Amino acid sequence: MYNNSSSLVTIDELCETLMIGKNTAYSLLKSGAIKSFKINRVWKIPRSSIDEYIMKQVKK
């Protein structure tokens, strides 16, 4: 899925990991469904947040 070289991913890597478009990715981040933060105008997404989101979706 992804390598462990960095604990933060970009919006593009999030899209690739979840196989979603950018609009969906931004919606997930803005709603708080995937925990993240911004530095200036750049989203920072912890890999652990993506894993948590996936596990929540699997349990539904």
Q: How far apart are CA 5 and CA 7, in angstroms?
A: 7
pTM for the model stands at: 0.83
Running DSSP on this structure, what letter comes out for residue 33? S
Q: How is the chain split into domains, by residue range?
A: 8-59
pLDDT band at 5; cut points 50, 70, 90: low
Task: Note whether 43 and 29 are within 8 A (CB).
Answer: yes
The model's pLDDT over 8-60, given as tens digits with 9 standing for 90+, comes to: 999 999 999 999 999 999 999 999 999 999 999 999 999 999 999 999 999 86
Cα distance from N-terminal residue to C-terminal residue, the chain: 22
